[in-house]
Amino acid sequence: MKLAEAVVLLVLLTGCATTQGTGGSGPSPSPGARPAVKKELPWLNVPGGRMKTTLFYGPWQCRREFMNGCQRECASEGHTLKGCIWLADLKFDWEGRLIALPVPVKGGSRYGIYHCCCDYPTLTKEQNKAGRDQWKAAMESFRQRWSERFGVWPTASTGVNWPGHHIRDLWHGGDPVDPNNVFPVQPGVHEAYNREYPACYSGQSPWNTVGPDLPYTDN
């Protein structure tokens, strides 16, 4: 799912019912689903109304749709899929007025963020450091631009910004500053991601098998 395109799609999805976006979760939690770690961002003024972003955090096993997408993605680049991690869902709520018909309306959509653990080659220590240095230099301006699209970048109670997670990690060639490759993550969840990525790239369980369609509840 491309983060930079999500707001544009959301504005087009105005209506009286919630629409599930491409890559988003199904409407009903699967049996055994548990509440997700979530973060609601403040309402953000957008053309024609206002929008609120809510982030629901995994990691979870990828549903069949995501796993199939990863198989195609890895194969198209000449790589083998080792595993798939469903990192988070972004839920967008919109309310405002339609230009053609000036009556109050509400709408929304939900988009899944997942990572395909293809057997990418790893960078050298020097290359990895260069990528991290590039990210550190761009963090402040990146957070500002992200906030303008989705809502204020979250911070801890101490005022420290939440870390930005690279969906395709730098060590495996992820772009340090691509707006489609970074999103804010609660610090404890970020640690969980970092623990599980090596297992995913190694083809270990549970990341090498398909999980439920919707493994969490909103509450």
Averaged over successive runs of 10 residues, the pLDDT of the chain (219 residues) comes to 46 31 55 88 91 96 96 97 97 80 69 97 96 97 96 94 97 96 97 97 97 90
3-37 burial code (b ≥16 CB/10 A, e <16): beebbebbbebbeeebbebebbbeeebeeebeebe
Q: Please give the pLDDT value at position 48.
A: 83
Q: Please give the pLDDT value at position 20.
A: 29
For the chain, the domain total comes to 1
Residues of the domain holding 11: 3-217
In the numeric block, the tokens 């963020």 are attached to 113
Which residues lie across from 88 on neighbouring strands? 57, 113
